[in-house]
Amino acid sequence: MVEFKAIVNDVKTGKSYNVTVSGHHANSLNGKNIGEIVDGIFVGLPGYKLKITGGSDGNGTPMRRDLPGSKRRKLLLSDSLGFHERYPGERKRTAVRGSAISGEIVQVNLAIAEYGPKSVEESFAKPADAPAEKH
């Protein structure tokens, strides 16, 4: 069974929320690419539309939008996603993942594209602990 950590970013407030997605909701995210718009019901936000902005696998290898598929590849990179140069002109062969979500992906980054009727904070609010009864 596939399970993802979905990091949902509220672009209006700048806050991010960590949500675990598993079961059939996680299976429906398989095969989606970076840049696609998905329904918010997958992460518990009915009525919302979310844009996939990236992710990483279990080793921390980042996904790249410009690499098709879901396989891990070693690319010669200059200063960009997956590698940051220490001096001008430096290049390095670095492992990156393709843009498609697969079973190897652990974390998926999402940004809110369209807002729904309920606020994001209300949807992700944890129920307050009830006070203990005293005898």
Tens digits of residue pLDDT in 65-103: 999 999 999 999 998 888 899 999 999 999 999 999 999
Q: What angle do CA 26, 125, 38 make, to 5 degrees?
A: 30
CB 75 within 8 A of CB 96: yes
In a domain, 132, yes or no: no
Consecutive H or E run containing 63:
none
Please give the tally of structural domains in the chain. 1
Residue 92 lies in a domain: no
- Asked whether residue 78 is domain-assigned, the answer is no
Domain that holds residue 46: 3-65+100-124
User: Could you tell me if residue 133 is inside a domain?
Assistant: no
pLDDT above 90 (res 127): no
Is position 129 within any domain?
A: no
29 located within any domain:
yes
Residue 79 lies in a domain: no
| pTM, to two decimals | 0.85
